[in-house]
A = this chain, B = another copy of it.
Amino acid sequence: MTIAKLLVANRGEIAVRVIRACREQGIATVAVFSEADREALHVQMADEAYAIGAAPAADSYLVIDRLIEVARASGADAVHPGYGFLSENPRFAEACAHAGLTFVGPPAAAMRALGSKTAARNLARQMGVSMVPGTVDALTGDEAAVRTAREIGYPVMLKAAMGGGGKGMRLVRQESEMAEALRSARAEAGAAFGDTAVYLERAVVEPRHVEIQVLADAHGNVVHLGERECSIQRRHQKLIEECPSPLVDPAMRQRMGEAACRLAKAARYVNAGTVEFLVDADRNFYFLEVNARLQVEHPVTEMVTGIDLVREQLRIAAGEPLGYGQADVTWRGAAIECRINAEDPFAGWLPSPGTITGLRAASGPWVRDDSGVYEGYTVPRFYDTMLAKLIVWGADRAAATARMRRALAEYTVVGVRTTIPLLARIVAHPDFAAARLSTAFLERVLPDIHANDARFEAVAIIAAVLAEYEHGRRAALPQPSNDGASDAWRRGPRTGWSR
């Protein structure tokens, strides 16, 4: 069952990532878009593109029937869900199967066994994978939550059963915070995953987030591609990820990898998946959850192993065997990923939708830009704020860090505020160089990080005044003729001024 035409049930950079992989495999691509996304990059890059509904995801990217309908009408024989949206929804996987479409991801059964965190915790317990104490099943009501929290002791963490990317997660320090935390966690979980179920576990203090990438084919072959460390987070949203983890040595990698593969085998898992662990100060690792899909941060593993994860997903979905074993997986150098979001970290992290009037992405040696935007694109307000992922590779962590600093300094986005200035300061921080990482890293270093100092104030004043001065001079010029005006529109702007 080879794949000839694939529908990408997603948007943004991951839709572009999947389209690129398909193009390289000679697979035709079908994009879908909401009313807000007609001009999105994935629509332009796909071979075909069809409207699927209104801007809110609930009316478009989350409407299973509509996606199946478009897949059928366009003659697609496969569907890639990307991450988020319906990627971990077993009903979507089943709907694809019923429609005779190859779903590029795990079978619904494995999703149920692992995709739901509570089910995964049950399985992990059976497989003897160590875990943080907490509830195994979804919380029935507020009383149950309060009762369990008392048993295992505060602080506790609320988590969405269907969750991922920190959506629907809340830290609860004391009982008085429980009610509001439950309300907002359920609300967020419902909005993000269409399922309000949440569960509870003890919060490990200043843990490190280390996850294992797993690949499993339909013939029972399972390998792990080593770990990623994703400890630098804000409100459980990963900001910076790297491979390998500075904490993990080959022995620890082997132990964590074996635990992950054991879990995948037990769940009859097929395709790419990630097993997340918390690691405490003594380098003990605790099973956290399984992400039964491609991860946002998959590129750092790709750069270090040389294995194209989306290509592997497509091969596995087409029924091909992996064709290699654990011993064939090797790691070279170090890779770091920074998430470039349309948020202003120096103004309360407010989302910053709007038009990107200028864009110069970083490039050059070992710099990879996985982007979903382009110059002239208007960032809609309906979806998450991620514009692009900036990934670098280096011969070692120090080289990769230096390269990331260089790349962030190059990356220019005009028109919307982004997280780039903050990312640049984090990567330049001594605690980052020293790999003093934990999920509390950001809170710890933020006080050292300032919106700006005065060193370029004079230059900024000069630039601002010159812009105003030329603005005035232009205004004083005679108007261009109709032709001039429309030619400019048509041929591209005269970036004149001193030309």
Contact = CB atoms under 8 A, between A and B. Distances in A.
Contacts of A399: 24, 308
Given A24-B406, A467-B490, A491-B357, A364 B368 contact: yes
Contacts of A444: none
Nearest to A364: B20
Interface in A20-77: 20-21, 23-26, 45
Contacts of A406: 20, 23-24
B370 A365 contact: yes
Contact of A20 (B299, B365, B395, B414): B365
A180 interface: no
A15 to B, nearest CB: 12
A399 B358 CA distance: 33
Task: Tell me which of A357, A365, A474 has the highest count of chain B C-beta atoms within 10 A of its own C-beta.
Answer: A365
B308 A333 contact: no
Interface stretch (A98-106, A263-271, A475-483): A475-483
A414 B491 CA distance: 10
Interface stretch (A3-11, A117-125, A235-243, A371-379): A371-379
A405 B403 CA distance: 27
B489 A483 contact: no
A415 interface: yes
A16 B467 contact: no
A406 B45 CA distance: 11
B358 A333 contact: no
Give chain A's interface residue range (CB within 8 Å of chain B): 35 or more
A496 B496 CA distance: 20
A436 interface: no
B332 A17 contact: no
Contacts of A365: 17, 20-21, 299, 302, 308, 310, 368, 370
A471 interface: yes
B475 A485 contact: yes
A14 to B, nearest CB: 11
A2 interface: no
Given A399-B24, A486-B471, A415 B492 contact: yes
A176 interface: no
5 nearest A-B residue pairs (beta carbon) = A357-B492, A474-B486, A475-B482, A363-B369, A24-B402
Interface of A: 16-17, 20-21, 23-26, 45, 299, 302, 306-308, 310, 332-333, 355, 357-358, 360-361, 363-371, 374-376, 378, 395, 399, 402-403, 405-406, 409-410, 414-415, 467, 470-472, 474-476, 479-480, 482-483, 485-487, 489-493, 495-497, 499
13 contacts: A23-B405, A308-B365, A308-B395, A357-B493, A361-B361, A363-B363, A363-B371, A364-B368, A364-B370, A378-B499, A471-B486, A474-B482, A474-B489
